[in-house]
Every structure is written in structure tokens, then in C-alpha cells.
Amino acid sequence: MKVIPLVARAPAAGTPDPARPALASSPPLSLYVHYPWCVKKCPYCDFNSHALRGDGHALDGDTERAYIDALLADIESALPQVWGRRVLSVFIGGGTPSLMSAAALDRLLTGIRTLLMLDPLAEITLEANPGTFEAARFRDYRAAGVNRLSIGVQSFDDDQLAQLGRIHDGNAARRAIEIALAHFERVNIDLMYALPRQTLAAALRDLDTALAFGPGHLSCYQLTLEPNTPFHHAPPPLPDGDLAADMQDAIEARLASAGFEHYETSAFAKPGQQSRHNLNYWTFGDYLGIGAGAHGKLSSHTGIVREMRHKHPVRYLEAAAGRDFVQERREVGVADLPFEFMMNALRLNGGVPLTLFQARTGLPLDTIEPALIAARQAGLVSIAEEHVRPSDTGRRFLNDLLGRFLPED
């Protein structure tokens, strides 16, 4: 067993120069696809999503075809960065990807298989809104290759859904879950708590309703007021911090008793049902991000880069003509790598092996050893058998914990 000493060691002979980190092998690779349209923009949402014009529930055919063309051209333009690497998961997020026609989704997934080395057992997730569910369409999604569905239910309470600006009601949410479970073995249900004037009993009713369907995965998020959203400018009456904390504790306890592992800050899964795509994020794996506003992180022998595609759908489609999809590109500096790694890894309640730090960043463990020692002494992490994980206190004060890995000015 390796025990981290109280004094950081000097780098051993032969340790790579921290100024030029080198990876022994490429991290696992995922693909993120962003679909930027939705029926209606919710007042709490700060994602890159754009409401369809009028009261339409589908993108017009010409724009949909042009967007799929652009996505495939985006992949082609990125091939030199990912050539020869196997893609282990695909996540189609938004917006509301379930607005996509089955034919468009089939063409997209066929193109992905043609252009990339997609693992035959890849997890392929699509986000869906209960207000867009049609049984035939979701049957066709499954036939096209989607094998995991994530449903943005948020609540089963009609009044809460109306305050959140959702386009579905509680009955539509229930029907959506029934349709999803009829066609997909792996289903995630998104729920929110600490909603306007919500009581603890009401939050647990939502949870119990979801559990009654027998899903393998649940995501439970506290409603937060994000900048540049209507809720931030005109806040609704939310439960106070103590009540929100009580809701979190009660939700975690109820899910634990139902056999769910709380494996990530907001994610709970039955055994074998964890999101492989999101686990790749949290273990600092690589991901190619395509689509309007999509973010990506890619490693090579020269370093780690982060990219963002042109954010507005119109600008993204315009960029397709010149295959100039990337709006921002930056190399992650050596001084920033410890924070970026820990910002992801410490979201996992079970933590990560310490050897993963060097494998994913190319930096020796000594780089973060002083911060780890200080965090352990403060009771924010536990370290045993070359493995680091956040303590219960560290989970509660995650921002304070992560701040210890920020670069010094």
C-alpha cells in the first residue's frame, strides 16, 4: 500500500518534464453531438438551446437536412485529431434531440459509423423531452442504434411543471417513461428538487413516482438560478438552504434504500447502469464535440486542447461551407491541468486511482501531492491504497475542495 507522505517528494529521475507533459497512451474517446433546438426555452435553462419559431414541434425539413450535413462535415474536419481511435460512447444532447425525425437520426448514426471507429458495443444516448414522445418514433430511434434514453421529466407535479415552463404535464411524463421502457433497456430519468415553494414531502413524491417505474438510472439536480436566465432576473420563491439540504439528504437516503449507488454528484444508478459516457468525462477522458456550441477535449502528444464550435445554429450552418466549425480553441496550460483533472475526478463519490492523474495529464503525482495532503488534513478527501475520493465533507463543500487545486497567481 502506498501512503502519501506529509512532505512532497522531488520528482524522481526520468520523470517527464512538467513543462512538456506527455501521455503514455491516448485516453478513452467519446463523441458528443449537440442539437440546439427546442420547442420552448425554459426560464431556468442556460444551455445553448433555441426555441423553434411559432408553435412548431419539428424542425423544417430543409434545415434538418442541412444540420445533419453540417454535423457529418464537422466530424470529417476533425478526423485528423481522432484518426485511428475507437469511440466508446455517443451522447446526443440539446436542446431537445427528440425533435429530430427518425430518418435524420438514422442518417446521423450511419454517418458516425462510417466516419469513426465506433465500438460495436458503444453506449449511444439520446436526450428526450416528454412533450415530444411518439411511440413509433422512439421505436425507430431504437432501430437506428440508440440504446440508452435520458428523459427530462424534472417533476410529475402539474403546477411545478407549469412554473418551470415545461411543455408537458405529469401524465405526459408518465406516458413518456412507459414508452421509453417499452423500447429501451437503459433509461435515465432527470428530476429536479428545491423547486418553487416545494415541500420535502412533494420532492419525495416525485422521486417515488419515478422509482415506481423501475428505471436503472436517475439524475437528481437542485434547481439553481443561472446567470442570464429569466429565473435569475426574476427569482421564484425557492426553498431556503436548510430545506434544500434536507431534500438532498432524504433523496440520497431513499435512493440508497432502493438499491441505487450514488456514484456521481447528481447521478444514481443500479449496478451496471452507470452512464459510461459521463464516466468518461469524470475520469478526464477525451471527447469530440460536434454541433452548434458543442465543447470538446482532445489529447495528443503535443498537449490537451479544448474546443468550442460556433454557438448560434445559423452561424454554425454558415461555417459548414468553409468547414470552419471551431469558434474557440485553447491549449490547456500545464498549471491548469491539476484543477481541470480534479474538477472532474472529484465529482465521482468513489474517487479515482491516483495513477490516473499521470495517465490523463502526463504530469507526475508530485504535482498535486501538496494539495492532496492539505485536503486530507482538512478532512475533505480520503486516500487509501493509491486511491483518492472525496469525503462526505468534501462532497458537501466541493467548491472549497476543488479550489485547493487552482493554480497560484
What local confidence, expressed as pLDDT, does residue 55 receive?
61
What local confidence, expressed as pLDDT, does residue 259 receive?
98
Which residues form the domain of 226? 29-281
Of 86, 107, 34, 117, give the one whose Cα is nearest residue 327: 34
In this prediction the pTM is 0.93
CATH number at residue 1: 1.10.10.920
CA distance 286 to 288: 7
Confidence of residue 100 (pLDDT cuts 50, 70, 90): very high
The predicted-structure confidence for 332-385, as pLDDT tens digits, reads as follows 999 999 999 999 999 999 999 999 999 999 999 999 999 999 999 999 999 998
What local confidence, expressed as pLDDT, does residue 284 receive?
97
Of 265, 295, 297, give the one whose Cα is nearest residue 284: 297
CA distance 143 to 172: 23
Q: Are 5 and 59 members of one domain? A: no
Give residue for cell 424542425.
Answer: 59
Confidence of residue 59 (pLDDT cuts 50, 70, 90): confident
What local confidence, expressed as pLDDT, does residue 17 receive?
47
Concatenated DSSP letters for 159-215? HHHHHTT-S--HHHHHHHHHHHHHH-SEEEEEEEES-TT--HHHHHHHHHHHHTT--
Confidence of residue 21 (pLDDT cuts 50, 70, 90): low
Question: Is residue 300 in a domain?
Answer: no
Residue of 291 and 9 predicted with greater confidence: 291
What local confidence, expressed as pLDDT, does residue 16 receive?
45
CA distance 400 to 165: 33
CATH number at residue 260: 3.20.20.70
Q: Are 61 and 12 members of one domain? A: no
The predicted-structure confidence for 228-275, as pLDDT tens digits, reads as follows 999 999 999 999 999 999 999 999 999 999 999 999 999 999 999 999
The predicted-structure confidence for 185-209, as pLDDT tens digits, reads as follows 999 999 999 999 999 999 999 999 9
The number of angstroms, rounded, from the C-alpha of 186 to the middle of its chain's C-alpha atoms is: 16
Question: Is residue 295 in a domain?
Answer: no
Question: Is residue 11 in a domain?
Answer: yes
Q: Are 133 and 230 members of one domain? A: yes
Farthest-apart Cα atoms in the chain, separation: 66
On the question of pLDDT at 14 being above 90, the answer is no
What local confidence, expressed as pLDDT, does residue 258 receive?
98
Domain count, the chain: 2
What local confidence, expressed as pLDDT, does residue 30 receive?
98
On the question of pLDDT at 24 being above 80, the answer is no
Neighbours of 323 (CB within 10 A): 13
Question: Is residue 289 in a domain?
Answer: no
On the question of pLDDT at 73 being above 80, the answer is yes
Length of the chain: 409
On the question of pLDDT at 10 being above 70, the answer is no
What local confidence, expressed as pLDDT, does residue 268 receive?
98
Cell output for 133:
414522445
Cell output for 36:
440546439
> What are the two backbone dihedrals, phi and then psi, of residue 343, each rounded to the nearest 5 degrees?
-60, -30
What local confidence, expressed as pLDDT, does residue 56 receive?
64
Q: Are 73 and 212 members of one domain? A: yes
Helix axes 241-257, 200-211, angle to 10 degrees: 30
Average pLDDT, the chain: 92
Q: Are 275 and 357 members of one domain? A: no
Give the single-character DSSP code of 44.
T
CA distance 143 to 129: 19
Question: Is residue 361 in a domain?
Answer: yes
Question: Is residue 193 in a domain?
Answer: yes
Question: Is residue 58 in a domain?
Answer: yes
